[in-house]
Structure 1
Amino acid sequence: MGALLMILALLMLPGVGFAYYYESGDQTPLLYSAFASFAIGATLFFSFSNQDQNIRKREGYLIVSLSWLFMSIFGMLPYLISGVVDNLPDAIFETVSGLTTTGATILTDIEATPKGILFWRSMTQWIGGLGIIVLTVAIFPLLGIGGIELFVAESPGPTSDKLHPRIRETAKRLWFVYIGLTVAVGVLYYVEGMNFYDAVNHALTTMATGGFSTKNDSMAYFSPIIQYTAIFFMFLSGTNFTLIYFGLTGRFKRVWHSDEFKAYVIALVIFLILLVGPVWYYSAEGFEKAFRDTLFQITSLITTTGYVTSDYTAYHSGLTLIFFMFLFLGASAGSTSGGIKFVRHLTFFKNSWLEFKRIVHPRAVVPLKINGDRVTGKIITHIMNFLLIYLMIFVVGSIVISLMGYDILTSFGAVATSLGNVGPAIGRVGPEDNFAFFDPFSKIFLSFLMLLGRLELFTILVLFTPYFWRAN
């Protein structure tokens, strides 16, 4: 955790350069925050560097959970010291929303936010996009600390593809892909008309599937060509980064061999075909804009990016419900997106379909296969439990928020978008709204749900079980 805080401090420094260049006056809060984070991180690191550094599974889960807590605490310092956010619940909410790439915000005038702080806001999403733990996995072995358990805890999804047998090499290659695509989309944004500052910020939040923007109107502020570019890179960000690596190295058969990727692509196409007509009819816009808005919002919600180009809640109540359901999809496992993930949905529906065959032929062995490989009963049980617990948390969370005095649509929307790390939802937290009106308790509660969703439930929930704390 000391190493993580030192890395976090260094990543605060680029915002100082923007603050000086734009004379926004927020360089001092960023410097103070970076100094405090680095000092405490260095103290932790060097004070305990001689201790037992054999990281086992329990230590891995604990380190990951506490690290996200520590990053949230120190990541909010720039907001508080600068005065951009004047209270603790709001600062926690904005920071956790950034680090978990949720994209929900309590800021009511984004364009009035100082440039350095606004850049740090985007940087928090880029840090959380692939997971700062994965970066540290590549660094820890150099420090004599094993990283496999951290990688497993940070990426608890049902897939276990590895680019390289050494976990450090896997993490490094994932980060090379992540950084390369971030640079690529930033260059395209700049060439297509964004200024340098906007291009850098949106590159960070696009690849992180985060959705924070430098504009109050989000992506609706920019030209159609920029929106199409965002659609393409949101799609890439929602793709398993292992498959992106295979594609970049020419192994295209490995890409299309993925059942999840095929389901991801086919679902996007089907949703576009089904929705573009109704959106065109109810929006009263030209066909090209209706097509672009439909494709943009489908991609943005499914990949949990959260950018907006139109208010999808203004079309029709039926369309609003369909867009709300997208909050529960998520894109691919192994991507920067949040949500349930397509591979879990695919496993659920395939297993449910095969169950009819098992009923008719009770003695037959009917295996479930994903990517041509048999899925073990243990994995199926894990996925079924995940889906059930996810639904239970959504229901209980919605009840909690509604008991705080908010209407049912707002409660459903706030909990679904926080747990799925999406951003916009329905009710009073729609595409054109923010979360500033929530009371302090609700903001802290929703922040907890964001962390829970980002670490895919079990990483945090296991800490609340007595089995975790029992001696070996």
Structure 2
Amino acid sequence: MNFGMIVYILAWVLKIEALSLLLPLLISLIYREQSAVPILLVALLSGIFGTVLGFKKPRKTAFYAREGFVAVAGCWIVLSLVGALPFFLSGRIPRYVDAVFEIVSGFTTTGSSILGDVELLGKGLLFWRSFSHWIGGMGVLVLVLTILPLGGGYNLMIMKAESPGPDVSKMVPRVADSAKALYKIYLALTVLMIAVFLLTGMPLFDSLCIGFGTAGTGGFAVRNSGMADYSMLSQFCITIFMILFGVNFNVYYLMQKRRFRDSLHSEEARYYLLIIAFSTLFIAFQILRQCGGDFLYALHHSFFTVGSIITTTGFSSLDFNLWPAPCQMLLLFLMICGACAGSTGGGIKVSRLIIMGKEIGKEMHLIIHPEAVRRIRLEGKSLDHPIVRSVNCYLILYCFLFMSSVFLLSFDGFDFTTNFSAVAATFNNIGPGLGMVGPVRNFSAYSDFSKLVMIFDMLAGRLEILPMLILFSHRTWRKTN
């Protein structure tokens, strides 16, 4: 294990976090808030520790899969432990476990909260809370790769461990250039989105925070009413951008390179948009059938909610906990389904569901035709067995951790719907669930132990499970020749 390189990468993450804290510090100073002092203190400490730990690059730079997974998991944990300090030191969130829950929810782009009144945080901390979505959306280690290329192909180990989806492919020959291309697209879409929000009449501060949450598909609101206070035009624009950020960023890269034909033939994107269209219409008609009302109103809010849930953003324009049971069950499916691989969204990912469906079809075909040779194809390419195997492994681990978490949460005494949806909301990085953790409620009623379970779930869901689990394997820490 190359601990020297892991610490060196960790040092860069601390320095990036220190620089990131300067923005909420500026906001706090503009609004003359007392939270500026703890934010400045944490920024200084993070910068000092990062500078000391990364003062000298290790001589041994060999970096393989084991180091990559440990570095990613370790960096996200330290990033969260430090990022929680402004909430805790300011006294706005007096319990450190709650502060860690809140910032982990931010960095993992989950959006689940323990706060009953978010507006009490003040502008500076609200900005930090939302900006954490933007930082975590693309991945802080991907950002490190844009400024700290390790060379020798080692940085692909980091990108594989942090990027969502069953497979990570380089868009350009060098991984560092791929990371830069991703961040250019991410930044351009974010700037465009904030400009559109401003044109719809949304205030500047709200446009920035909601923009960060939408880009990272996070879901933290800056008002207690969530998205309900904004105009229908603003809500519609938010929906469109949520869906856009749920698309694989390779599609945008192909568009940027004017390879429009290739970008428009994304099989995963087609299924993703089809699921959104079907779910929107189904929920709209269910609302009309059982609740009545105006069709355009029902269509608007069903479109917003479906876009928010499938992209794992978690914004809410109304309390969907009051919708008919079939609508709630469909929303649970969308929570688990998630967005496309290579996007900022969470969940299992549409590509994995496609591969799983095709694998089931292949097995059924082989039962009828045992001598047949049939390969699974996605995006026009034949999938290698290791990719299919990794999908199967991921789904098994997903089910095991999901049910284990539901079991552990059950000791708090809440009903099954609340516990199941709480795990679905945190493990899939959604935000709100159903029952006692619905869109107008929060997660504060859970015990510290349950919050720690959900903190692990949020990190495991964002990092695709294995980087977190590998920390608990004795083989990870065993010396090898």
TM interval, shorter chain, is: over 0.9
Q: CA, structure 1 residues 252+95, in 2 after alignment: closer, same or farther (shift >3 Å)?
A: same
The answer as to whether partners of 1:92 and 1:444 remain within 8 angstroms in 2 is no
Cα offsets for 1:213-250 (capped at 9, x unmatched): 11111111100111111111101110011112212333
Using a 3 Å threshold, how does the CA distance of structure 1 residues 50 and 377 change in structure 2: closer, same or farther? closer
For 1:360, the equivalent position in structure 2 comes to 368
Match of 1:273 among 266, 275, 281: 281
SS at structure 2 position matched to 1:53: coil
Q: Check whether the contact 1:354–1:368 (CA below 8 A) recurs between aligned residues.
A: yes
Deviation, structure 1 residue 51: 4.0
Provide TM-score, normalisation by structure 1.
Answer: 0.97
Q: Is the counterpart of residue 288 in structure 1 residue 296 in structure 2?
A: yes
Is this contact kept in 2: 1:239–1:331, CA < 8 A?
A: yes
- 2:65 paired with 1:57: yes
Rounded to whole Å, the distance in 2 between the matches of 1:359 and 1:422 is 38
The 5-angstrom pairing of residues 388-403 of structure 1 reads: 388-403=396-411
Which residue does the alignment assign to 2:32? 23
Give SS of 2:45's match.
helix
Deviations 1:61-110 (A, max 9, x none): 11101000110111011101111110111011001000100000111111
Matches within 5 A, 1:35-434: 35-46=44-55, 48-141=56-149, 146-155=154-163, 157-434=165-442
Q: How many residues align?
A: 471
Which whole-Å deviations, capped at 9, do the CAs of 1:434-456 have from their partners, x for residues lacking one?
11111111111110110010000
8 Å contact from structure 2 (residues 163, 342) kept in 1: yes
User: How far is 1:271 from its partner?
Assistant: 1.5
Q: Distance in 2 between matches of 1:435 and 1:337?
A: 21
What's the counterpart of residue 477 of structure 2? 469
Do residues 2 (structure 1) and 3 (structure 2) align?
no
Contact 1:283 1:290 in 2 (8 A): no
Cα deviation, 1:111-130, whole Å, max 9, x if unaligned, reads 22211011000111111000
| Matched residue type, 2:174 | R
For residue 148 of structure 2, give the secondary structure of its aligned residue in structure 1.
helix
Letter in structure 2 aligned against 1:380? V
Letter in 1 for 2:27: F
- Measure, in 2, the Cα distance between the counterparts of 1:464 and 1:285: 53
- Matches of 2:455 and 2:422 in 1, distance apart? 11
Identity fraction in percent: 35
Per mean C-alpha deviation after superposition, the further-off stretch among 332-341 and 154-163 is 154-163
Tell me how far apart the structure 2 counterparts of residues 144 and 217 of structure 1 sit (CA, whole Å).
Answer: 50
CA contact (8 A) 1:397 1:415 kept: yes
Where 1:157 maps in the other structure, the secondary structure is coil
Q: Is the 8 A contact 2:145 2:179 kept in 1?
A: yes
Q: Which amino acid aligns with 1:106?
A: I
SS at match of 2:280: helix
* TM-score relative to the length of structure 2: 0.95
* Ranges in structure 2 where 5+ consecutive residues have no aligned partner: 1-9
Q: CA RMSD in A?
A: 1.6
Checking the alignment, whether the CA contact within 8 Å between 1:54 and 1:145 is kept in structure 2 is no
After TM superposition, where is structure 1 displaced by more than 3 Å over at least 4 residues in a row?
142-146, 281-285
Report the Cα offset of residue 255 of structure 1. Answer: 1.7
Displacement after TM superposition at 1:145 (Å): 10
